[in-house]
Amino acid sequence: MELYTYYRSTASYRVRIALALKGLAFTALPVNLLVPKGGANRQPEYLAINPQGRVPALRTDEGELLIQSPAIIEYLDERYPQPALLAEDLATRAHERAVAAIIGCDIHPLHNSSTQNLLRQWGHDEAQLLAWIGHWISQGLGAVEQLIGDQGYCFGEQPGLADTFLIPQLYAAERFKVALDSYPRILRVAALAAKHPAFIQAHPSNQPDTP
């Protein structure tokens, strides 16, 4: 498999975690989002791969080109079912998907690079950007804190779908100087993930394009 990725893209980070949790080998193909003229993701060569111009994109062993991290992770969990990223219990699965959706749909889009760039174009300064980002991350993590369990990872003793979304979001929170002290359950999960080989392998500091 080939993964078009960027080291600090939280969406790419999610997929790297899922691949690592399942023990799947892949070739990383870095896409630099910060090069001149709008980033390598906006160039014709990459737009031919992903017309949306975003990372990640995954080329499967069968040659299929998949985009959007939730769809890629769902594919991986169905194509390589063990270890499973979703619980057997249907209600727990719904809770896992809800946490993933809060992060992937309600938090992340409001602080990704395209949103930041548009806010800058509209005249907002960096202090206003940080206030905007901090508001949405804090609001979302406040909900996640109430939804996850009191022991282990988000929903059990083994990491799953919710954790693949939560840990990259915490990396973004730290980047944008969002305080996490009021989220003890989330901090518990973060401490467990910091010692887990799959999360260590997928961390932005351990990627081939890390500066």
DSSP 8-state assignment for residue 50: -
Sign, CA dihedral 53-59-62-68, equals negative
Q: What's the pLDDT tens digit per position in 107-145?
A: 999 998 889 889 999 999 999 999 999 999 999 999 999
Please give the pLDDT value at position 93: 97
Q: Tell me what the mean pLDDT of segment 69-98 comes to.
A: 98
CA–CA separation, 194 vs 57, rounded Å? 25
Please give the pLDDT value at position 208: 96
pTM (two decimals): 0.95
Percent pLDDT > 70 in the chain is 99
Single-letter code of the amino acid located at 200: I
Choose the weakest-confidence range: 31-35, 43-47, 168-172: 31-35
Helix (H) or strand (E) holding 183: none
Q: What's the pLDDT tens digit per position in 88-109?
A: 999 999 999 999 999 999 999 9
DSSP 8-state assignment for residue 105: I
Structure tokens at 187: 């901090």
Structural domains for the chain: 2-83 (3.40.30.10), 90-199 (1.20.1050.10)
CA–CA separation, 158 vs 156, rounded Å? 6
